[in-house]
Each structure stands twice: as structure tokens, then as C-alpha cells.
């Protein structure tokens, strides 16, 4: 593709910024349009699994990420009575070429944003630009914007191709799928961060309970945050309700709305109610995704990341898939002379794979281990996990999810990029 091709990237999140950096590696330049006026370190935690770290390492960001996150040593599963179910090593400790890292989402975003500004130049990233639609013809595309802060109309932008990285509420996806709706199955979540002494190894990713009776996901994201050895612990509570009431997006969560489920979760290794009560911040989210769609690419426009395949925030897989999207499309654009053909080739390589992951996250999530044990044990304490199910069987469940998600040590995708250090 010609270096003069004008590429407009709508959305400056993980997908959009990752794509800008991947293009730059290929000798191509784009312009990124982000709706917020100022990029701030907001949000809670995120886990960068090996396939996400593979992509970020390939972009030259591994050292920066390791410096501000915590490398996971292990993933550990418990039932809601605090009893051990299963554990396995993670990241480099499991034989991957790259680490698995827990990190504050805002810090990840800042590192990506600063890298784009540094490599492309500040003139190629435009904040306070919220896309309200795209038109196209045989010679180009026109992207229409308003200010994200107050809705004031901004000058339109001309481009040869447009990449929609504007998230689960994508205005561009809505243009092609006007009846597009969120899929909500009755699961609400609350997320928080708490200053707390290290739990277990201090590098443990923990899943406790199951979605039927209340579930907690807990892992550290900042080490020694106060100089006294405490960590910033990220946690997420998931509850499947009988009603179809759906939480707000990024609203301040009320502890009393979900504490009753966890009030008795006091184990010799962790007091869950205290962890929740002492949170610096609590946000509420609905557990939503969207049904896979049959087409991403429409002439000069294609979808990427959550705009293309929003999935349940389980298994920390959404960011990884967005980064793989980014690298795949950047490679296609560099290798093919026709940018429209590159958009089509990218879709062929990514759409069916991500559709399977969306469905798997619904039906067989990574915490299926907990669900299976609860079913076998009748949601009651057991004498020993081996009385319920073998460690070999639990390991097979874990490996199955990794293969579907694309980060099994035995998958060709990981082996192909195992040289990334």
C-alpha cells in the first residue's frame, strides 16, 4: 500500500493506539481521533495475558509495562467456602516467552498513548473528536465529528480508509447495523481497587466462587503502593440475578448492592468483605457483549476491537484480541497494494476466530472450573478436591479455554511469535 494512503482511526483506546503503533512499524502513518478531551489514567485493573503481551512486546513496550505492573506467578481457583480447587503457573512461569501482567488500565492506556505521540508525533492524534458518522464514495471516505466535550460540530476529515475502533458503543458499527443491541444475560459486575497486604504469593490471580452463587476475581496491579508493603488489589464481583435489571456503565457502585452475597466470605487467607469495604473506588458495569456479525468491512470502512467483536470481560481476552486485530490489519495493509483488499483480507483472517471466542466466553468461560466443581460437589464444602474431580481433569478444562482464546502453549499462533522477548 502506498505510504500516501490516508488512514483515519476512530477511537484512541487499546485497539486504536495499538493499530497506530503497528502501522508505524510497517512504515505507515495514520491519524487517530479520540472522543475524550484529555487522556487520563482512569479505570481499574486489567490482566495482560501472554497473547496480549506478545503483541505489546512486539511493539517494544514490554519493559515499560513490566515496570508499572505485577507479573503473575500463578492462577488459583477456590470455591465460595475458601477451599482450594486448582492452580497453575502463568506467563513465563508456565513456559511462555513473555510474562502475564496485572496492571492498572489507565497506566496501560497512558503507555500506549505516549508511545503514539512519541513515534507518530502529537499532530497525528486528535482528542475531543467524537465520530458521528461516515460517508464514502469511489474516491474516498468522509468522517464527521463533533467535540466530545460539548457536541459542537467539527470539520469533517477526508480519508482513503476508516478503521472503527470506537468500542462496544461504536457509532460506526451502529451506522451499518442500526438495530444493533447489547446482549445482557442478567449478570452484573462491580469492580474496585483496594490497598491491602499481599494475598497468597503477592503475585496470584484468584478466582473464588462461581457465577451461580457469587464470584470474585482478585489480583494485584501495583506493588508497594504506600511504601509500607501494601499492594493495590484489583477485584471484580460478579452476580447472576433473577431479574433483567442492568447496571449502569462506569457508575459509582454501592457496596450495599452486592455485599450480602459476600458477607460470610471470611477465609484464613483472605477477608473478602473487608477487601470490598476498604476499596478506594467501586464502579458498576453490566456483563454484556454483542452477537457476532456477518460482516465487518463495508468498502472503505472496517471494524476493529470491541467495535467488531465485543465479548464478555472474562479471561482478560478482549484487549488481546484487539491487539491481534491491530497487528493483522497493519500487516495486510503493508503487504497488499490495494487497501480495500487489505481490509477484506483482515476480516477473513479475524472475524470467525473472534466470533468463536465471543461464544466461548458465554458458554465455557475460564472460570468454568469453578462452575463444574460446584455442580459436582452440590455447592457444598468437600473434604478434598480429589474427592470431587482430579487435577488432570481440571487442567484439561483450563487448556481447552486457552486453545480457543489463542494463548495455549501448543497453539501455532503462540509458537509463531514465541521469539518476542
Counting residues of the chain whose pLDDT is more than 70, the rounded percentage is: 94
Alpha-carbon gap, residue 13 to 16, rounded angstroms: 5
Q: 3-class DSSP state for residue 16?
A: helix
CB 306 within 8 A of CB 164: no
Q: Domain segments of the chain: what residues?
A: 7-42+106-181+290-364
pLDDT digits (tens, 9 = 90+) for 326-373: 999 999 999 999 999 999 999 999 999 999 889 887 877 767 899 999
pLDDT for the residue numbered 244: 62
Stronger pLDDT, 402 or 151, i.e. the higher one: 151
pTM of the model: 0.91
Task: State mean pLDDT over 1-8.
Answer: 86
Give yes or no for residue 97 having a pLDDT over 80.
yes
pLDDT for the residue numbered 94: 94
pLDDT for the residue numbered 419: 34
pLDDT for the residue numbered 40: 78
Tell me the β-bridge partners of 10: 33, 164
Alpha-carbon gap, residue 360 to 166, rounded angstroms: 23
Strand-pair category, 214-222 with 141-146 = unpaired
Give yes or no for residue 295 having a pLDDT over 80.
yes
Q: Which CATH architecture has domain 7-42+106-181+290-364?
A: 3-Layer(bba) Sandwich (3.50)
pLDDT digits (tens, 9 = 90+) for 38-90: 887 777 899 999 999 999 999 999 999 999 999 999 999 999 999 999 999 99
Give yes or no for residue 248 having a pLDDT over 60.
yes
Measured in degrees and rounded to the nearest 5, phi and psi for residue 324 equal -70, -40
Quote the cell numbers at residue 220.
494485584
Amino acid at each position: 500500500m502506498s505510504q500516501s494512503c490516508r488512514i483515519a482511526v476512530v477511537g484512541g483506546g487499546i485497539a486504536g493506539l495499538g493499530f497506530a503503533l503497528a502501522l508505524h512499524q510497517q512504515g505507515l502513518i495514520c491519524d487517530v481521533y479520540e472522543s475524550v478531551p484529555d487522556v487520563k489514567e482512569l479505570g481499574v485493573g486489567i490482566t495482560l495475558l501472554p497473547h496480549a503481551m506478545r503483541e505489546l512486546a512486539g511493539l517494544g513496550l514490554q519493559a515499560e509495562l513490566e515496570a508499572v505492573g505485577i507479573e503473575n506467578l500463578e492462577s488459583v481457583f477456590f470455591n465460595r467456602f475458601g477451599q482450594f480447587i486448582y492452580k497453575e503457573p502463568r506467563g513465563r512461569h508456565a513456559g511462555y516467552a513473555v510474562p502475564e501482567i496485572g496492571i492498572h488500565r489507565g497506566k496501560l492506556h497512558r503507555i500506549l498513548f505516549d508511545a503514539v505521540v512519541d513515534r507518530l508525533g502529537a499532530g497525528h492524534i486528535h482528542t475531543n473528536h467524537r465520530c458521528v458518522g461516515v460517508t464514502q464514495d469511489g474516491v474516498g471516505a468522509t468522517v464527521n465529528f463533533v467535540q466530545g466535550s460539548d457536541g459542537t460540530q467539527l470539520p469533517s476529515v477526508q480519508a482513503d480508509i476508516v478503521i472503527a475502533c470506537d468500542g462496544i458503543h461504536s457509532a460506526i458499527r451502529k451506522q451499518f447495523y442500526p438495530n444493533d443491541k447489547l446482549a445482557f444475560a442478567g449478570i452484573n459486575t462491580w469492580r474496585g481497587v483496594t490497598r491491602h497486604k499481599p494475598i497468597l504469593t503477592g503475585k496470584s490471580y484468584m478466582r473464588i466462587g462461581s457465577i451461580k452463587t457469587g464470584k470474585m476475581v482478585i489480583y494485584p496491579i501495583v506493588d508497594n503502593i504506600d511504601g509500607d508493603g501494601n499492594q493495590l488489589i484489583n477485584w471484580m464481583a460478579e452476580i447472576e440475578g433473577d431479574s433483567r435489571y442492568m447496571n449502569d456503565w462506569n457508575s459509582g457502585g454501592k457496596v450495599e448492592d452486592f455485599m450480602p452475597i459476600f458477607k460470610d466470605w471470611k477465609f484464613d487467607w483472605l477477608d473478602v468483605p473487608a477487601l470490598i469495604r476498604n476499596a478506594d473506588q467501586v464502579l458498576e458495569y453490566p456483563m454484556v457483549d454483542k452477537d457476532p456479525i456477518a460482516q465487518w468491512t463495508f468498502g472503505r470502512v472496517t471494524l476493529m476491537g470491541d467495535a467488531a467483536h465485543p465479548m464478555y470481560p472474562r479471561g482478560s481476552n478482549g484487549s488481546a484480541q484487539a491487539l491481534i486485530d491491530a497487528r493483522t490489519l497493519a500487516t495486510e495493509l503493508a503487504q497488499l497494494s490495494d487497501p480495500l483488499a487489505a481490509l477484506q483480507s483482515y476480516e477473513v483472517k479475524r472475524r470467525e476466530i473472534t466470533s468463536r471466542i465471543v461464544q466461548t466466553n458465554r458458554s465455557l468461560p475460564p472460570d468454568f472450573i469453578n462452575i463444574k466443581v460446584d455442580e459436582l460437589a452440590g455447592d457444598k464444602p468437600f473434604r478434598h478436591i480429589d474427592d470431587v474431580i482430579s487435577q488432570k481433569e481440571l487442567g484439561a478444562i483450563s487448556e481447552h479455554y486457552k486453545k480457543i482464546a489463542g494463548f495455549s502453549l501448543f497453539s501455532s499462533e503462540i509458537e509463531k511469535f514465541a521469539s518476542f522477548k
